[in-house]
Every structure is written in C-alpha cells, then in structure tokens.
C-alpha cells in the first residue's frame, strides 16, 4: 500500500514540474525572459508569458536574442544578421552657383603720365623724325575702376575667368614732328592731354598658390569707349630764307591723332581672398602690360563675392544614390 502511494506521489510531482517548466530566452543585452516559446521564424519569435491573472503573447526580433534554452535542455542559438536597408535614388537639383560664381571689384587704376600715345600719322610722306617726350618722368595719375568677374568650374585647383572692367587712363606728353625737303623744313610741336575711358575685357585662369593667395594669368582686350584728348602747340616752316611761326590753340585732337583701335595686352593679376563670417572678400593687384607705352597701368582694390545671388537651379537634375 505504501509502495503504490509513493509511486503515485512521484508521478504527480513529475507531471506538475513539467507543467510549470518554462523556456528561457536570453537576450543580447544579457536580460532573461522566462516564457513559453510558441513560434520561431526568421522575422520574429512569438512567446507566451503567464502571470497570476493574465496570459500575454508577445513577439521579439531574432537579432535581439542570443539564444533560447528550452525546458527540455535544448539550446538554440541565433546569429546576428545586419539589417540590409534598401537604396533609393535621390534627385538632387544642381545649382547654377555650383558651376558659376562671380565677384565684384572696386578700386583704383594708377598709370604713368606717359600713356595714351597716339597712332602714327603721316604728314605728306616727308617724315624724317618724330619724338615723344615725357612732361614729368615721375608723375602718375589715379582714377577709379569698377569691374565684375565670372568664375567657371567646380575644381578647387583651377577655374576659368571672364571679367569686364571699366577704367580711365590719363596721359600727358609732348610730341615733336620734323620733316625736311629740298625747299623747306617743317617742325610740329604738340602737347597732349588725353583722357580715355576703356572697357577692359579679361579672360584667363585662376590658380591657388597658397591658402588665401591666387594668381590669375589673364589676357585683355582694351576697348576705348570715350576719348577726350586736347592738344595745343605750334608749327614752324623754314624755307631756308625766312621762318614762319604759327601757334596752335587748345583744341580737340583729330581722328588720326588719337587712339581709336582695340589694344590687346597681358594682364597678370594676384588675389588675396578670405572668409569674414559668411562673406568672402579679398584684395587684388594687377598690371596691364600693353604694347610699348600705349596703355600701361596698375590696378588695386577690393573684391566681394555676393553669396545670395546666382542660386537658380539647373533644369538637368543629378541622380544621387543614398541609403535609407
């Protein structure tokens, strides 16, 4: 009798222990959840938690679980699989300012008094000698200049430059013309006072030679758009017997006595640029190496980049791939 009672008690305890036994879910953060695993899939693990009054069914991602220890002692491990996010194309509109920027410059032009030499002209084909003489060898004139420059390209090492500048060149000099024939000698003396406004069109490249320093080898087309040249002097005729003197009162220079053609020149330039807050500013200096003494001048001034302009989007979009 006692033997049967012991066997029944053992069977009751065994089945009761199995009824209360749970699975253990060990997470990757080392926390443990005691529950009954209902379903295991590649996307989720469903388990049941019994409380005193309620039964909860929850799900957890396999990547959050290190392993599951089942109530029968079997251990199922889970490997961490990184989430692969899809790639979506993004249409990024390119701004005009990504390819074209511009700056405005304001400064002064300094030219030697011995500038704006007139074109050669012929006095009847009997020219024997002509001379240009400086009025004052150490005198310079200063005038204002204003300009705008477009810069093309995105490279930080080289950019193309196209600029337009408006400036005035002021020159004073003496001109003497001598002619001699079999019957007469002729001498013409003229004092020039010239003011010529130019449209200076430059083109070239821009290279950095330091953190803030740039060199710009440029070529220039100098187009006179306003000419005001005054002359006065005298002329003499000598027929080897008598000499005739005639005074030339101040008057405007004739067409053949002034600069009217385009002039090509080299115009090297150096910029020093830096950021002041959100604005890019700088200084510049350049020299116009024109033919002979016709248009020699120096320019100095300030540079400013107006950032808020040229922000128009281009019509052609740029497709850029990114990860979500």
Instruction: Classify residue 176: in a domain, yes or no.
Output: yes
Write down which residue in 21, 46, 77 finishes a domain. 77
Q: Give long-range contacts, CB 8 A cutoff, 24+ apart: 272-280.
A: 272/212, 272/213, 272/214, 273/212, 273/214, 273/303, 274/212, 278/307, 279/304, 279/305, 279/307, 280/103, 280/304, 280/305, 280/307
DSSP 8-state symbol, 72: T
* Rounded Cα–Cα distance for residues 239 and 292 (Å): 36
Write down which residue in 21, 49, 77 finishes a domain. 77
Regarding whether 266 and 132 lie in a shared domain, the answer is yes
* Rounded Cα–Cα distance for residues 182 and 163 (Å): 54
Instruction: Classify residue 272: in a domain, yes or no.
Output: yes
Q: What is the pLDDT of residue 308?
A: 52
* Rounded Cα–Cα distance for residues 162 and 103 (Å): 11
Regarding whether 112 and 63 lie in a shared domain, the answer is no
Measured CA to CA in angstroms, residue 196 lies from 118, 201, 276 at distances of: 11, 15, 36
Which residues form the domain of 266?
Answer: 94-318
Please name the residue that has the structure tokens 């109530």.
71
Instruction: Classify residue 324: in a domain, yes or no.
Output: no
CA 297 to chain CA centroid, Å, is 27
CATH number where 45 lies:
2.30.30
Regarding whether 166 and 125 lie in a shared domain, the answer is yes
Helix (H, G, I), strand (E, B) or coil at 300: strand
**Residue 15 zone, left/alpha/beta (φ > 0; ψ -120 to 50; rest):** alpha
Write down which residue in 42, 77, 112 finishes a domain. 77
Q: How many domains does the chain have?
A: 2
* Rounded Cα–Cα distance for residues 161 and 19 (Å): 86
Regarding whether 253 and 173 lie in a shared domain, the answer is yes
Q: What is the pLDDT of residue 321?
A: 47
Regarding whether 190 and 303 lie in a shared domain, the answer is yes
Q: What is the pLDDT of residue 68?
A: 86
* Rounded Cα–Cα distance for residues 8 and 13 (Å): 9
Mean pLDDT by 10 residues, the chain (324 residues): 55 47 81 85 82 75 85 81 60 66 92 74 57 80 93 88 92 85 85 88 93 94 86 88 88 59 86 90 90 74 76 46 45
Instruction: Classify residue 86: in a domain, yes or no.
Output: no
Length of the chain: 324
Q: What is the pTM of this model?
A: 0.60
Regarding whether 12 and 136 lie in a shared domain, the answer is no
């Amino acid at each position: 009798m006692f033997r049967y009672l012991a066997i029944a008690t053992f069977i009751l305890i065994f089945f009761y222990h199995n009824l209360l036994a749970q699975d253990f879910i060990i997470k990757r953060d080392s926390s443990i959840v005691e529950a009954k695993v209902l379903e295991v899939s590649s996307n989720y693990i469903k388990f049941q938690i019994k409380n005193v009054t309620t039964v909860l069914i929850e799900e957890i991602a396999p990547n959050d679980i290190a392993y599951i220890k089942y109530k029968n002692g079997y251990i199922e491990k889970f490997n961490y699989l990184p989430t692969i996010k899809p790639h979506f194309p993004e249409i990024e509109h390119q701004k005009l300012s990504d390819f074209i920027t511009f700056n405005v410059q304001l400064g002064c032009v300094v030219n030697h008094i011995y500038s704006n030499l007139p074109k050669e002209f012929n006095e009847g084909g009997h020219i024997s000698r002509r001379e240009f003489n400086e009025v004052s060898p150490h005198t310079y004139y200063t005038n204002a200049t204003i300009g705008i420059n477009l810069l093309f390209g995105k490279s930080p090492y080289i950019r193309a430059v196209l600029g337009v500048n408006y400036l005035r060149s002021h020159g004073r000099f003496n001109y003497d013309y001598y002619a001699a024939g079999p019957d007469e000698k002729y001498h013409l003396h003229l004092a020039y006072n010239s003011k010529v406004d130019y449209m200076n069109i430059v083109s070239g490249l821009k290279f950095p030679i330091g953190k803030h320093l740039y060199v710009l080898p440029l070529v220039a087309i100098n187009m006179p758009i306003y000419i005001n040249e005054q002359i006065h002097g005298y002329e003499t005729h000598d027929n080897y017997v008598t000499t005739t003197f005639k005074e030339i009162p101040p008057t405007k220079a004739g067409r053949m006595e002034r600069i009217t053609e385009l002039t090509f020149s080299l115009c090297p330039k150096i910029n020093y640029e830096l950021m002041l807050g959100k604005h890019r500013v700088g200084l510049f200096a350049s020299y116009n190496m024109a033919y002979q003494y016709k248009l020699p001048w120096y320019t100095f001034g300030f540079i400013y980049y107006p950032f808020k302009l040229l922000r128009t989007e281009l019509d052609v979009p740029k497709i850029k791939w990114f990860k979500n």
